[in-house]
Amino acid sequence: MKNEKPIAIIGAGLAGLTAANFLHEKRVPFVLFEAGKKIAGLTASFKDDEGFSYDFGAHFITNRLADAIGVGDECLTVKHYGEQVYLGGKYYSYPFGLVKIPRMTLSGIKAKLSGGGKPNSCAEWFRAAYGAALADEVALPLIEAWSGAKAEKLSPAVGESLPGSIGKTLYLKAASRVTGRAVAVGYNREMPEKASVYHVYPEKGVATLCEKLASGFEDQIKLESPIEEIIVENERVVAVKSKGELTEVSAVVSTAPANILAKLVKGTNQLDKFSKFNYRPMIFVNMKFDGRGLLPDTVLWFPENNFPFFRLTEATLSMPWLAPEGKTIITVDIGCERGDEFWEMDEDKLTELCLENLTKIVPDAREKFLGAKVLKTPIAYPKFLSEYETERKDFEKSTGIENLLSIGRNGEFAHIFMEDVYWRTRRKIGELIERS
Ligand SMILES: Cc1cc2nc3c(=O)[nH]c(=O)nc-3n(C[C@H](O)[C@H](O)[C@H](O)COP(=O)(O)OP(=O)(O)OC[C@H]3O[C@@H](n4cnc5c(N)ncnc54)[C@H](O)[C@@H]3O)c2cc1C
């Protein structure tokens, strides 16, 4: 590395800390700016006085990621992970139960035999890949609830970005049963999915990953220091501004949401087109109950649009240590838009809404209820709308500024899990150092 000005990293979540850790390893100067009071970003864990833990969503990581970061010894093995779909008042296990429904299997076979042309939307992609029955009754309603957009308006990339085939999923699920470990399915694209890669959870919470990555350079992390501007001259980043102060830099690695990054950059219009990217806001209502096993499996999906939520997760069925013995926690996922009735609803009303609907699944939910904690995020999932698919593909290749990288989940505008964030970030930072 010829240039001795530091690289500025924006954000101390998993991506920013992986980048900083890699630069630290290679002895490349850097400075890490974090807007919040703490490191960890989305991987922050919360534990209340009664001993219940919750993350932003339930977080499953892999043994391969834990080992790579060096916290493998501090992790507990997840022995079971299962998903079910609630359809027509019945539970179907995913994927075995669904593929046993004759109309799903038949329409899947029909789709395979007919081949079909190049899909133009997410809806066409799913009908061609899984058959109309599975697509229209299960996959597409869930994608619409999750993204807040009609499947016809979403790009085929939503389907293309899913790792693994049905065959591979069935094999990995079967491997879970044989090994007695929750083999990771659908969590990796950068590295192969295999029977020896399974879920684990750090004893002290998922933020352990970030704490380990940050060890040795804590003094280079500037907390409560939001980046306000990224200054570009002659199509190269030259400085960043935080709290009104300029720092000259050799490059910038941003983990801020892609549409926000576009607005931070000054002195070029290269990124203007990315400012229209949209993320789906989400509300997570973490509900505490007496008893355990209130749901039939860890995750329960609701594709029929007859509940205000599309997913319930009883994470203690996979990770019993997340609640005191004999108690449990159910996370309710509600898709919303900023300013809509759900977003504006206060915590008590949201909790009551969830409780009222939960009693249709768990009749004695109200009697067992112990309390709730509501978390809201305006940027849970990137929306792959067809209307900006060309720009999204451009952004996948580059920000348009050679020494400005955008990495991480919201930074890449990609629905990626932690292991992919880790490997991709290391690869991209390696390439940045090479060309600097
Ligand atoms: C509901 C949900 C469930 C998930 N479940 C799983 C799971 O089970 N397993 C899994 O592997 N992954 C899961 N993920 C994904 C995982 O949480 C993310 O991939 C990962 O945490 C992303 O890390 P990041 O560093 O890219 O982003 P973030 O964690 O969002 O970090 C970005 C950081 O940048 C900071 N920042 C933003 N703007 C600025 C600025 N201008 N200046 C300074 N700082 C700034 C923010 O404060 C934040 O700390 C889930 C995600 C969600 C939303």
Helix (H) or strand (E) holding 16: helix 14-25
Based on the fold, state whether residues 128 and 164 are members of the same structural domain: yes
Assess whether the C-beta atom of 228 lies below 6 angstroms from ligand 1.
no
Q: Is-contact 98 83, C-beta < 8 A? A: no
402, part of any domain: yes
200, part of any domain: no
CATH number at residue 346: 3.90.660.20
Q: How far is the CA of 259 from the centre of ligand 1 (A)?
A: 15
> Cβ contacts of residue 45 below 8 Å, gap of 6+?
53, 54, 55, 59, 205, 206, 207
| Residue 65: count of CB within 10 angstroms of its CB | 26
Express each pLDDT in 92-128 by its tens digit. Answer: 998 889 888 999 999 988 888 887 678 999 999 999 9
User: What pLDDT, on the 0 to 100 scale, is given for residue 118?
Assistant: 86
Based on the fold, state whether residues 225 and 140 are members of the same structural domain: no
Pocket test for ligand 1, best of 17, 59, 199 (most atoms within 8 A of CB): 59
199, part of any domain: no
Based on the fold, state whether residues 103 and 189 are members of the same structural domain: yes
358, part of any domain: yes
88, part of any domain: no
Partners of 285 in beta bridges: 332, 374
Q: What's the CA gap between 273 and 261, in Å, rounded? A: 11
Q: Is-contact 346 354, C-beta < 8 A? A: no
User: What pLDDT, on the 0 to 100 scale, is given for residue 180?
Assistant: 94
Q: How far is the CA of 179 from the centre of ligand 1 (A)?
A: 31
Q: Which residues of 394-422 are buried (b: 16+ CB within 10 A; e: fewer)?
A: ebeeebbbebbbbbbbbbbbbbbbbbbbb
Residue whose CA is at the smallest distance from ligand 1 atom 38 = 256
CATH number at residue 155: 1.10.3110
Angle between helices 122-130 and 140-147 (to 10 degrees): 150
Based on the fold, state whether residues 149 and 64 are members of the same structural domain: no
Domain that holds residue 398: 7-43+207-277+386-435
Name the stretches of the chain with pLDDT < 50: none
Partners of 327 in beta bridges: 290
Based on the fold, state whether residues 390 and 271 are members of the same structural domain: yes
Q: What's the CA gap between 356 and 333, in Å, rounded? A: 15
Assess whether the C-beta atom of 33 lies below 6 angstroms from ligand 1.
yes
Based on the fold, state whether residues 263 and 211 are members of the same structural domain: yes
86, part of any domain: no
Based on the fold, state whether residues 62 and 108 are members of the same structural domain: no
> Cβ contacts of residue 348 below 8 Å, gap of 6+?
none
User: What pLDDT, on the 0 to 100 scale, is given for residue 186?
Assistant: 86
Q: What's the CA gap between 312 and 83, in Å, rounded? A: 10
φ/ψ of residue 199, rounded to 5: -85, 140
Q: For residue 303, give the nearest of 28, 103, 94 by alpha carbon.
A: 94
Q: Is-contact 271 394, C-beta < 8 A? A: no
Based on the fold, state whether residues 126 and 268 are members of the same structural domain: no
> Cβ contacts of residue 211 below 8 Å, gap of 6+?
39, 40
Q: What's the CA gap between 195 and 178, in Å, rounded? A: 10
Tokens (6 digits) for 132? 């109309």
Based on the fold, state whether residues 334 and 415 are members of the same structural domain: no
Partners of 83 in beta bridges: 94, 299
Assess whether the C-beta atom of 14 lies below 6 angstroms from ligand 1.
yes
Q: What's the CA gap between 93 and 256, in Å, rounded? A: 37
> Under DSSP, is residue 221 helix (H, G, I), strand (E, B) or coil?
strand
Alpha-carbon torsion, ordered 290, 293, 295, 296, to 10 deg: -170
DSSP annotation of 56 reads: S
Assess whether the C-beta atom of 61 lies below 6 angstroms from ligand 1.
yes
87, part of any domain: no
The model's pTM is 0.95
Based on the fold, state whether residues 263 and 116 are members of the same structural domain: no
How many domains does the chain contain in total?
Answer: 3
Based on the fold, state whether residues 64 and 151 are members of the same structural domain: no
Domain boundary among 139, 166, 193: 193
Residue whose CA is at the smallest distance from ligand 1 atom 41 = 227
CATH number at residue 271: 3.50.50.60
Assess whether the C-beta atom of 336 lies below 6 angstroms from ligand 1.
no
Based on the fold, state whether residues 343 and 394 are members of the same structural domain: no
User: What pLDDT, on the 0 to 100 scale, is given for residue 406?
Assistant: 98
Atom of ligand 1 nearest to the CA of 14: 25
Partners of 279 in beta bridges: 382
229, part of any domain: yes
Express each pLDDT in 277-298 by its tens digit. Answer: 999 999 999 999 999 999 999 9
Q: In what order do the strands lie in the sheet with 236-242?
A: 245-248, 236-242, 227-233, 265-266
Domain boundary among 167, 193, 219: 193
